[in-house]
Structure 1
Amino acid sequence: MYKLYLKRLMDLVLSLLALPIWLFILIIIGPIIYFQDKGTIFYNAPRLGKDGKVFKMYKFRSMKVNAPDLRNQDGSTFNAEDDPRLTKIGGFIRKTSIDETPQLLNIIRGDMSIIGPRPDLPEHIELYEDDEARKLEIRPGVTGYNQAYFRNTIPWKERIKNDIYYIDHLTWWMDIKIFMKTIVSVLKRDDVFIEQITENKNGEMTNVK
């Protein structure tokens, strides 16, 4: 019942209640992003949604205009505190996760959920192995099991395993625990940035800060 109906209802109600707060954030952050380099306020990133449907995920733009797309060895997005592609305000909104708040609009549209697997890039669907495509069984989330407990400290393939674990154990109580853990993680700013992901002698991908 919760997974099929109540989860979506709660997403919609909570998102509509939070919308006025987000509009206040937009009024403050939006002009700062624009006037730093006269670029767009939002970064609209194509992502894989439920059942493999591609949608535009909204974020506040944290990088300079025409910044190059850098990836780690496992194909995940490069994300470092001293990344030269970040604008001055970009570093701040990354650390505080404010850059993710426009995804409130994705939740209202039905593209995303508050809690769920973080969405992958569209081309990642070709890299799924065995049952990894199961992470597309539900709507992706603004935060999720990985973000709450590991943030950016584990490789992409391990995150997929955790996503499937979440799907198999999805309950109202689990979502509450993930939500509360996420708040603590964001306030403490733990493991926001990683330098790179490298391959160890066993052929396993590991993060290097």
Structure 2
Amino acid sequence: MRLLDFIFSLAGLVFGFPVLLIIYLIGLFDTGSPIFRQERVGRNQKPFTLVKFRTMSVDTASVASHLASSASITKLGGFLRKTKLDELPQLWNVLTGDMSLVGPRPGLFNQTELTAERESRGVFAARPGITGLAQVNDIDMSTPRLLAETDAQMLAELSVNNYFRYILQTLTGKGSGDRVRK
């Protein structure tokens, strides 16, 4: 899958560059800091820096989305989350090998329950991904055990066919992304 990840992430960055640039420029006016970087738990529990478009105000606490207040989401951020365009910069993480297009969404180091659940199921043997079985079925980090079980199931059943299925389902709008507290 690494070869597919490399080819598709490179193509996505090259052909998606105009969209990335437009979102970046609009983001400058929205928050003044359109790129969001955050340390996440990667393969074998090694840290890596995840890159996304910023969807929340700059002063929002570094917590899982389901623990953040919806009041923190900017107007542009709401649009980016709904369309999943906030994930586009992660193609860089895929290109560099920190992530895959398909895999378990990378958690934060302070999400100890999720980390323990994933560790007990061998989920950290895989690269984290932009999308996967949990994401297209609206399972997010607010349910750590269910998420870890779903991630383990996805990895056990991952094939080229499922790889393309999860990507296609994500691109066609299946799944709503991480919940945010009202």
TM-score above 0.5: yes
In 2, are the aligned partners of 1:132 and 1:164 still within 8 Å (CA)?
no
Distance (whole Å) between structure 2 residues aligned to residue 156 and residue 19 of structure 1: 31
Q: Please, which moves more after superposition, 88-97 or 123-132?
A: 123-132
1:32 aligns with 2:26: yes
Distance (whole Å) between structure 1 residues aligned to residue 101 and residue 28 of structure 2: 27
Offset at 1:79? 6.8
Distance (whole Å) between structure 2 residues aligned to residue 26 and residue 130 of structure 1: 32
**SS of match in other structure, 1:119:** coil
Distance (whole Å) between structure 1 residues aligned to residue 121 and residue 46 of structure 2: 12
1:9 aligns with 2:3: yes
1:90 aligned to which of 77, 100, 105: 77
Offset at 1:24? 0.9
Offset at 1:183? 2.1
Match of 2:49 in 1: 56
Distance (whole Å) between structure 2 residues aligned to residue 130 and residue 180 of structure 1: 25
Distance (whole Å) between structure 1 residues aligned to residue 70 and residue 2 of structure 2: 36
Offset at 1:44? 0.4
1:122 aligns with 2:116: no
In 1, are the aligned partners of 2:139 and 2:146 still within 8 Å (CA)?
no
Distance (whole Å) between structure 1 residues aligned to residue 111 and residue 71 of structure 2: 26
Q: Which protein has the larger Cα radius of gyration, Structure 1 or Structure 2?
A: 1
Distance (whole Å) between structure 1 residues aligned to residue 71 and residue 16 of structure 2: 28
1:157 aligns with 2:145: yes
Distance (whole Å) between structure 1 residues aligned to residue 151 and residue 122 of structure 2: 9
Distance (whole Å) between structure 2 residues aligned to residue 124 and residue 83 of structure 1: 20
In 2, are the aligned partners of 1:49 and 1:136 still within 8 Å (CA)?
yes
Offset at 1:105? 0.2
Percent of matched pairs sharing the same residue: 31
In 2, are the aligned partners of 1:113 and 1:142 still within 8 Å (CA)?
yes
* TM-score after normalising by structure 2: 0.87
* TM-score after normalising by structure 1: 0.77
Gap runs ≥5 in structure 2: none
User: How many residue pairs are counted as aligned between the two chains?
Assistant: 181
1:104 aligns with 2:91: yes
Offset at 1:156? 2.2
Distance (whole Å) between structure 2 residues aligned to residue 194 and residue 142 of structure 1: 16
1:179 aligns with 2:167: yes
In 2, are the aligned partners of 1:62 and 1:91 still within 8 Å (CA)?
yes
Distance (whole Å) between structure 1 residues aligned to residue 118 and residue 51 of structure 2: 30
Distance (whole Å) between structure 1 residues aligned to residue 81 and residue 118 of structure 2: 33
Task: Rate the CA distance shift 1:68–1:52 in 2: closer, same or farther, 3 A.
Answer: closer
- The CA RMSD measured in Å over matched residues stands at 2.5
Task: Extract structure 1 runs of 4+ deviating beyond 6 A.
Answer: none
Task: Rate the CA distance shift 1:153–1:55 in 2: closer, same or farther, 3 A.
Answer: closer
Gap runs ≥5 in structure 1: 1-6, 71-75, 197-208
